[in-house]
């Protein structure tokens, strides 16, 4: 018997699909191989910060400037009855300053020791990044900013080291005014 070549091709395709569907699903990526980040913009660059350190994202309003603090401390704000410092990472790590706009957001980060808000020009959202795709910074990148970077993804998202920022003594203002 001569069978139609189209019917034979369809049967082969269906057989291949059936075999693929019958196989056990591959194990999902192991926990810990992905990093959950909050993506945001600072000075026309895209940054990510580990979501585990982010308490919330809040609009920046009612900012009260403080005299006698370093330039990177924009001031303080009240978030649901809690007074928080607001830090401008652009000034802290010497990035170009775009100025404050009406749509600025504050990303509140914390650990067991400290909690404060960091200014973001825009918050892009949350996503998972595979740890395999994070490359270390090139050796040519130096300065204070390099101390706070875990690496860069293939999409050029700079992953910040939230723990390093929160633990850095340089971010603590302990001025005594006479």
43: CATH: 2.40.50.180
The answer as to whether 176 is a domain residue is no
**Which of 94-108, 109-123, 135-149 shows the highest mean pLDDT?**
109-123
Report the mean per-residue pLDDT for the chain.
82
According to the model, what pLDDT value does residue 84 have? 93
Distance between CA atoms of 153 and 65, rounded to whole angstroms?
35
The answer as to whether 137 is a domain residue is yes
Segment 23-45, tens digit of pLDDT: 765 544 455 588 999 999 887 88
Predicted TM-score of the model (pTM)? 0.73
Of the two residues 78 and 18, the one the predictor is more confident about is: 78
Q: Whose CA is closest to 133, among 26, 37, 17, 41?
A: 37
Mean pLDDT to the nearest integer, 112-129: 92
Distance between CA atoms of 165 and 129, rounded to whole angstroms?
20
- pLDDT confidence tier of residue 50, bands split at 50, 70 and 90: very high
The answer as to whether 1 is a domain residue is no
Helix, strand, or coil (residue 166) = helix
The answer as to whether 14 is a domain residue is no
CA 172 centroid distance within chain: 22
Indicate the number of domains in the chain: 1
Question: At a CB cut-off of 8 Å and minimum separation 6, what does 62 contact?
Answer: 77, 78
If you search the block for the tokens 């001025």, which residue do you land on?
A: 175
The answer as to whether 28 is a domain residue is no
According to the model, what pLDDT value does residue 24 have? 65
According to the model, what pLDDT value does residue 28 have? 47
The answer as to whether 161 is a domain residue is yes
Segment 54-109, tens digit of pLDDT: 999 999 888 999 888 888 899 999 998 999 999 988 888 777 666 555 558 899 99
The answer as to whether 12 is a domain residue is no
According to the model, what pLDDT value does residue 65 have? 92
The answer as to whether 9 is a domain residue is no
Of the two residues 42 and 118, the one the predictor is more confident about is: 118
If you search the block for the tokens 């960091």, which residue do you land on?
A: 118
Domain that holds residue 68: 34-171
Instruction: Please check whether residue 48 is in contact with residue 38, taking contact to mean a CB–CB distance below 8 angstroms.
Output: yes
Portion of the chain with pLDDT greater than 70, in percent:
79
Any alpha helices (H) in the chain, and if so which ranges?
Answer: 5-22, 89-92, 162-167
């Amino acid at each position: 018997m001569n069978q139609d070549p189209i019917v034979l091709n369809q049967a082969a395709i269906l057989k291949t699909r059936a075999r693929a569907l019958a196989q056990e699903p591959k194990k999902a990526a192991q926990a810990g191989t992905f990093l959950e980040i909050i993506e945001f913009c600072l000075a026309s660059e895209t940054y990510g910060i580990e979501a585990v350190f982010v308490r919330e994202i809040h609009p920046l309003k009612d900012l009260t400037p403080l005299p006698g603090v370093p330039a990177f401390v924009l001031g303080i704000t009240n978030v649901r009855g809690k007074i928080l410092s607001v830090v401008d990472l652009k000034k802290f790590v010497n990035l170009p300053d775009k100025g404050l706009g009406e749509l600025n957001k504050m990303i509140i980060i914390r650990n067991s020791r400290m909690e404060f808000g960091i200014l973001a020009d825009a918050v892009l959202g949350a996503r998972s990044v595979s740890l395999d795709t994070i490359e270390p910074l090139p050796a040519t990148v130096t300065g204070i900013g390099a101390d706070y970077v875990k690496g860069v993804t293939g999409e050029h998202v700079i992953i910040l080291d939230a723990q390093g920022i929160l633990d850095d003594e340089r971010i603590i203002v302990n001025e005594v005014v006479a």
